[in-house]
Every structure is written in C-alpha cells, then in structure tokens.
Structure 1
Amino acid sequence: MSQTSIKTAIVTGAASGIGKATAKALRAAGYRVYGTSRKPAPAADPGVRMLTCDVTDDASVAGMIETVFGEAGRIDLLVNNAGFGISGAAEESSVEQAQAMFDVNLFGVVRTIRAVLPIMRSQKGGRIINISSVQGLIPAPYMALYGASKHAVEGYSESLDHEIRGQGIRVVLVEPAFTRTAFDQNLVRSDTPLDIYETERAGRDQFLREVMTTADTPEVVAKVVVTAATATTPKRRYAAGPVARQASLLRRFVPAKAFDKSFRKQMGLPQVP
C-alpha cells in the first residue's frame, strides 16, 4: 500500500485528554495520525507523529498543515480538539480574557479549517470533526464564556457544512459531557472575581469535582470520533457518552420551564422564577 493511499488525520490538542485518546484510537483504526500541541509533547502512541502548533497563530497553523501534507501527500481528516475553559461568572472575566479564549476555541478552529480546505477540495473529499461540548446545547452557570465559544463553534460548523458538502467535504460535531480529563483542573479562573458570586461559584466548583469522579473516560469520546470519521454518511452531531445523550434528549423533549427548574436544582442554584 502506498503512503498516499493511507488516510491521514490531524488531531489538535493531542498532548492529553480527549485529543490524546483520539489520536491513539484513529491510529488503531488505520489512519496515519499527526497530533499537535502548543508545546512539545510525547505522542499518544508510537505511530502518532507530534507537531508543535499554536492554533492562535496563522503562520504556525499554516506551517503545520504544510508539514503534514508534505510528508503524507494528503489530509483526509481534521479533528479540532484544542481548547480551554474559563471558570467564573460571565461578568467576572475581562473582555481581554474572553477574547483570548475565543482565539483558541473558535478562531483556532477557523484557522485550521481555512488552512486545510484547499487540500481537501483538491482531493475532492475530506472530513472535519469539531469537538464541541454538551454546553454547546445547554449552557451552564459559571461557564458562560466557554458555553458561548462552543455555541459559536456549533453555528460555524453547521453553516460551513452546508457550504462545502457539495465539494465532498463534511463537517461534524462531537459533543462530550463531563469527561475524566485534567480539564477541570486546568480551568482558567476569571480575572476580575466579584464577592457577590463567591458562594454560588464555590458550590458549582464542588459539583464539578464530584461529577468528575464518575465522568466518561476520554476513550468514550475517542470512540465516537472514530465513528464520526468513518461513517459513510455522517450525522451532523454526535453526543459522546450516556450523559451527553441524555442531556440532549432532555433539552429537546422536556418543557422549558420544567427543564430550567431541574437544571437549577442540579446546579445548586436558588429556585427563582
């Protein structure tokens, strides 16, 4: 089998967590896999080639895509996983902090896709999987900016899929719920905290610590990514794991008032109409 006949995948944010598990799972599924991280990092698997790439930098992204295409001769799959969250009330983050997160979570996705589309178009095919979140469907308190970034990724992905589907390229969303990674430990704290939110914010943090003990493993999400990557006719979005599937169904079918009341109770918020 020639090198150019082997499907090639890129996974951003592959140094740990979902990205690392996804790179390993795609390698097991037969892909030639390139993982990226902002700083040099070991590979998830001996067969995964790690590249340094800062998704907030146009030249870094272009250089990474050029390296992959130069070595592999094709790019069949792009998994946009790089991202981070900010923990705090919406008004506790400065505009500058919000912009920094959107530069990774949204504009990092835009940069990598813009760089890879000409290659996929010349091949007359390709697939892009954007790792969203259940918060792209159900925004949670004290994660407003993170939820907003994932809503933006969802809207961007749906629009883009309509635009490029006729070129043989599909865009798919994978939506995990709570996943056992270092995500909660690596949450960036809001840079302008206010005393009025301290008690509720602490309660949300405790809820997050507790739910992470029973959360899905990154491998659960990675398996869904492989399904989305290899499906002949992919769905627009895939809920990753039982909690994400349940949340998606509840949001769609439970009356809004009942859902709101139940959600506030789960989050430890007062039952204010």
Structure 2
Amino acid sequence: MSRVVLVAGASSGIGRAAAVSLAGRGHRVFGSSRGWPGEPPPGVEPVTLDVTDDASVRECVDDVLHRAGRIDVLVYSAGCYVAGAAEETSPALALRQLDAYLLGAHRLVRAVLPAMRRQTAGRLIFMSSSAAVAAIPFHAVYSASKAALEGYVDAVRYEVAPFGVDATCVQGTSVRTGAADAALHAEPLDSYAIARDAVVERFATTQRDGGPPTAFARTITRAVEARRLPPRYRVGIRAKALPALRALLPDAVFRRLFARKFGLPSGK
C-alpha cells in the first residue's frame, strides 16, 4: 500500500537515501531541506523545512497536508553533531545540538500527530545512533541528545498507541553521510588538545570511511512497510552487538575496551 511519507533531512545522507528508496517503492515522498542545493531525486517532492523553527515546521506540515491530504509516516533524519569536550562546549552550542536531534523531532511530532490521530494511523521513525548505548568521548552532547531522543520515543510509543500511531528508532554506526564535514566544533582548550583531536578525528574518519547509507535506507523502508514496529532497529553487526556487550561485560571492563577503541589510556 502506498503511503504519504515526510522525510526530514532528505537533501543528503541517510535521509536522501531513504527518500529515494521509498519513492522507488511507490510511496509518495516529500523530502525536506532548509534549502535544496540542487534538484531533488526523481520521485521526491521537495519541501522547505527548518526543524529549529516553529513556524517553518507548521508551514511544512500544512503544505504536505494541503498537497497530499494526509501524512502516514514521518521519517526524522535531520541534524548535525557537536564535537569537543564537555567543558569546551558552551550552553548555546549544546542547545543547538539538542535543537537538532531532540527539540526538532519534538516540533515535528507535535505538528504531524493531529492529522495522524484523525486518520487513526501513522508512523514516527527516528534516526538514532549507537552513541545512545555507549556515549562517545568528546561528543558528550551528541551522545546525550541521541540518548534523550530514544527515551523520548519510548515514552511517545505509549502515548500514541491508542490512536493507531507507532514510533521507532533506527540505531547504527559508521555510515558515510557527510555529517563529519558539517560537524560543529566547540571552542578548544589546550588541556584537552591531544586526546580530543585524536578522538574527534578518529570518529570523523569512521564516518568518512563508513559504508554507504543504503542499509539504513532499506531498514527505514522496511519500517514504513512493516505490519508492526519494534521499539528500535539496529543496522549492522556492531550496532547489534554493542547492547549485548554493554549488558554482559562488567562496566569497568567495557569502559576500558571502549576507551581503547578511541585511543584513550583509560575508561575509568
């Protein structure tokens, strides 16, 4: 069955790949961007959206409803991440991070839910990260925003279930999206320079050298078309193994191993 899908963050990365995949499956796809850098992919209808602006969110959702008459699915894949030590990160920059991944998602949820409740059907699909399972050093506010998003979605699932609406998160690691080149960097302090620079570059490299976003696009497409949604999808072996390792290993052992992964001397 063809569905009307709004993909937030469809101009690049996972959002673009998901929009292309969904359009190829015959769904009517509205792909959002703050400003499309070029022509949208074939089959994707472009809409303008700034997830940090209340008026922009309302106008975007109203536009889709006017043109399609309904919104069956929201796919949230917008945002960028902040790199740097917690001490280096100003409250204003931390708020920008939360605005991108949590508050932006919240704005769109509030905007699409009235239509979904009237339809007594709908799906909310959010791109998360394995950083919600194991926080990444020198990416504290990024990790916190993804963990907050997952807690938010877990609660929303209870609230919207009586209206025929469901929600899920998609976790993964090391995907090539261009996010590393668009990262926001905190104001550096010399005290953190050696460890911070090594970890930030290692994290960025795993993204630049990661796999294409096609596996995530396939998972999002599966979530759009599935009869029922699980609380979360995990894409890739590492994303699937990480929660098990976190649960099975003593915390001190896990932290030492995770610190070693990033070239840090200790995970204490």
Q: Given the two structures, how large is their TM-score scaled by the length of structure 1?
A: 0.94
Q: Do structure 1's residue 45 and structure 2's residue 44 form an aligned pair? A: no
Which region of structure 1 is more displaced relative to structure 2, 216-225 or 250-259? Answer: 250-259
Q: Distance in 2 between matches of 1:75 and 1:49?
A: 14
Structure 2: state its 5+ residue gaps: none
Q: Does the CA contact (< 8 Å) of 2:124 and 2:166 recur in 1?
A: yes
Q: Do structure 1's residue 179 and structure 2's residue 175 form an aligned pair? A: yes
Q: Distance in 1 between matches of 2:169 and 2:56?
A: 24
The structural deviation recorded for 1:233 is 1.4
The structural deviation recorded for 1:248 is 2.6
Other-structure match for 1:266: 261
Q: Do structure 1's residue 218 and structure 2's residue 244 form an aligned pair? A: no
Give the one of 144, 147, 153 matched to 1:151: 147
Q: Do structure 1's residue 252 and structure 2's residue 247 form an aligned pair? A: yes
**Partner SS state of residue 243, structure 1:** helix
**Partner SS state of residue 185, structure 1:** helix
The structural deviation recorded for 1:40 is 2.7
**Partner SS state of residue 234, structure 1:** coil
Q: Percent identity?
A: 37
The structural deviation recorded for 1:258 is 1.6
Q: How many residues align?
A: 268
Runs of 4+ in 1 over 4 A off after TM superposition: none
The structural deviation recorded for 1:90 is 0.7
Q: Does the CA contact (< 8 Å) of 1:131 and 1:175 recur in 2?
A: yes
The structural deviation recorded for 1:214 is 4.3
Which region of structure 1 is more displaced relative to structure 2, 176-185 or 35-44? Answer: 35-44
Which region of structure 1 is more displaced relative to structure 2, 204-213 or 118-127? Answer: 204-213
Partner deviation per Cα, 1:17-64 (whole Å, 9 max, x = no partner):
111001011112221000101113335521101111111111111111
CA pair 272-106 structure 1, distance change in 2 beyond 3 A: closer
Structural RMSD (CA): 1.5
Structure 1: state its 5+ residue gaps: none
Other-structure match for 2:116: 120
Q: Distance in 2 between matches of 1:42 and 1:115?
A: 27
Other-structure match for 2:229: 234
Give the one of 192, 196, 214 matched to 2:191: 196
CA pair 111-213 structure 1, distance change in 2 beyond 3 A: closer
Give the one of 101, 108, 111 matched to 1:105: 101
**Partner SS state of residue 242, structure 2:** helix
Q: Do structure 1's residue 162 and structure 2's residue 170 form an aligned pair? A: no
Q: Does the CA contact (< 8 Å) of 2:130 and 2:171 recur in 1?
A: yes
Q: Distance in 1 between matches of 2:25 and 2:40?
A: 14
CA pair 210-100 structure 1, distance change in 2 beyond 3 A: closer
Q: Do structure 1's residue 141 and structure 2's residue 137 form an aligned pair? A: yes
- Structure 2: which amino acid aligns with 1:181? T
Q: Given the two structures, how large is their TM-score scaled by the length of structure 2?
A: 0.95
Q: Distance in 1 between matches of 2:209 and 2:236?
A: 12
The structural deviation recorded for 1:6 is 3.6
Other-structure match for 1:86: 82
Other-structure match for 1:95: 91
Which region of structure 1 is more displaced relative to structure 2, 152-161 or 34-43? Answer: 34-43
Partner deviation per Cα, 1:173-219 (whole Å, 9 max, x = no partner):
001211112111111110x3111110001211332244235422111
